[in-house]
Structure 1
């Protein structure tokens, strides 16, 4: 039963994830937390690992969650679940693409989806930001204690990564490795 639940849950995530792997984070987060399959810290770790390993983000996320929940069979269930909707939809689109490529309603629907995906991504980024950089969310209630609630080391690594990537166009893999080393140094002090 667990494997079917994993398959159907990730099928739903795959079906309603429009805009790429990162767009799945809000739905994935909601599903995993509501079912008690992972904590927010575990989800953030899954995101970090999935981003740092080769392959599509959504498949990596599904595989990691599947292994945690049900070993190899869990990984097969979640991975199949997350890729089947895309496979089915892309086969249908490929067959009928010429009928839709200039369709006003199809273009309008896609135009409406883009801002929704951005909003969902912003929501996830905010949740992950608060969970990673705010040490005690209760301290946010008081302006006087706001600065003591911020994880300065993590924030410095975030800002350094952002500016290094934008200024020097360093390859993301190199940046991930550099930030991992910085994290090991910063958090071992």
Structure 2
């Protein structure tokens, strides 16, 4: 029964979630914690591991939650549950969308979904930062982080700096900043 519950829950998440893996994280957390499969703090750890692992973050998180709940069989059930809707939906929508892709209503729907998806991703990022104490109560540390964020966005958007260069550079800057602010 647990395996069926895992499959159906993750199938439901897969069907009704839009915007990619990070936008699905709040829904996965709510369902996983409310079913008692994982604690909120363990879920935060699972998202960290899922983000560092190769592959989609939502699928990796589903694997982790399924494994915690019911071992290897649970990981398989959760993975199938979260992946199968996407496969089915993409095949069906691909056939339909090809015929209606230039219709004004279709374009309007996707335009309207953008801010909501952005809000889901921002919400997940904020919850993650708060739960992992990445947001500091020290004004200078928070201000330093905000300035680094603005500079990183500027370099990504306008200067087209490679993300790997930013990760390495800002890691060094973070270490140096940590020494000066300690």
TM bucket (normalised to shorter chain) is 0.7 to 0.9
1:62–1:79 Cα contact (<8 Å) kept: yes
Residue-by-residue CA offset, 1:91-150 (whole Å, 9 max, x unaligned): 102222322201222222212211111112222222222211179xxxxxxxxxx947x9
Match of 2:164 among 149, 171, 183: 171
Structure 1 unaligned residues grouped into runs of 5+? 136-145
Which residue of structure 1 aligns with residue 158 of structure 2? none
Structure ranking higher on relative contact order (CA contacts 8 Å, 6+ apart) = 2
Question: CA 1:163 to 1:52, structure 2 compared with 1: closer, same or farther past 3 Å?
Answer: farther
Task: Tell me the secondary structure at the aligned position of residue 38 of structure 2.
Answer: coil
Residue 22, structure 1, aligned to residue 15, structure 2: no
Report the TM-score when normalising by structure 2.
0.75
Shift of 1:26: 1.2
Partner of 1:138: none
Cα offsets for 1:26-80 (capped at 9, x unmatched)? 1111111222222221111111111111112121111111111111110110000
Q: SS of 1:18's equivalent?
A: coil
- How far is 1:158 from its partner? 6.7
Q: Secondary structure at the match of 2:58?
A: helix
Q: Verify the 8 A CA contact 2:22 2:124 in the aligned structure 1.
A: no
Q: Is the 8 A contact 2:59 2:79 kept in 1?
A: yes
Decide whether aligned partners of structure 1 residues 38 and 88 sit closer, same or farther in structure 2, where only a CA change above 3 A counts. Answer: same
Would you say the 8 A contact 1:46–1:61 is kept in 2? yes
SS of 2:132 mapped into structure 1: helix
